[in-house]
Amino acid sequence: MPQFEISTFSSQLFWFFVCWGCVFVYLWKILVPRMSAKLSDREHKIKSILAEATSFDLQTETMLLKYDDKLNHFKQKQKAKLQQTTEFIQKSKEGLESDLKQELDSQLLILEAKLKQSQADLLKTLPTELESVLTEFAQKQIPFALDAGGISKVLNAEVKKLMHHD
């Protein structure tokens, strides 16, 4: 085997160191800086993404706080509007009840006045109506003929007694 011959051993060692030297120089000058640059880029990218995520987290928290504030403000505003509406409805209801009561009272007074007027009119026409009814009744019940003037005088006197008696 030629690699184990002592005469070629020194040249093999030389080439061994030359190859390893080239590999070392290649690693040291080309491959390691590229890998370092890539790792550095990745590290910067990760840091920027983490910083962005932190920024987004802070923005999200501030947005949530603003949203909660606006929501609470809106709830308070709606509660106030609901209370105002309830008060308005209550006042309107009371006003309508008052107006309705006044209208009903005025209509009741009008109806009472009409009833009194009707009673007065009825009392005015009662003697003549009563006279005609009693005259007709007396003519039917009494077999002999009486004159209408005599019956009306007697009936008028009796009706006047009754009216003055009440």
Residue 55: predicted pLDDT = 95
pLDDT confidence of 12, banded at 50, 70, 90? Answer: confident
Residue 18: predicted pLDDT = 97
- The number of helix segments (H) and strand segments (E) in the chain equals 3, 0
Helix, coil or strand: residue 146: coil
Q: Distance between CA atoms of 148 and 154, rounded to whole angstroms?
A: 10
Which tens digits make up the pLDDT trace of 26-67? 999 999 999 999 999 999 999 999 999 999 999 999 999 999
Place of tokens 């009216």: 163
Which tens digits make up the pLDDT trace of 100-154? 999 999 999 999 999 999 988 888 887 778 778 877 777 777 655 556 566 667 7
Which tens digits make up the pLDDT trace of 147-166? 656 666 776 777 777 777 65
Check residues 1 and 26 and name the one with the higher pLDDT.
26
Q: What are phi and psi of 86, to 5 degrees?
A: -60, -45
Q: Distance between CA atoms of 122 and 163, rounded to whole angstroms?
A: 13
Give the predicted TM-score (pTM) of the model: 0.41
Structural domain spans, the chain: 8-165
* CA distance to 56, 59, 60, 70, 71, per residue, from 67 (Å): 16, 12, 10, 5, 6
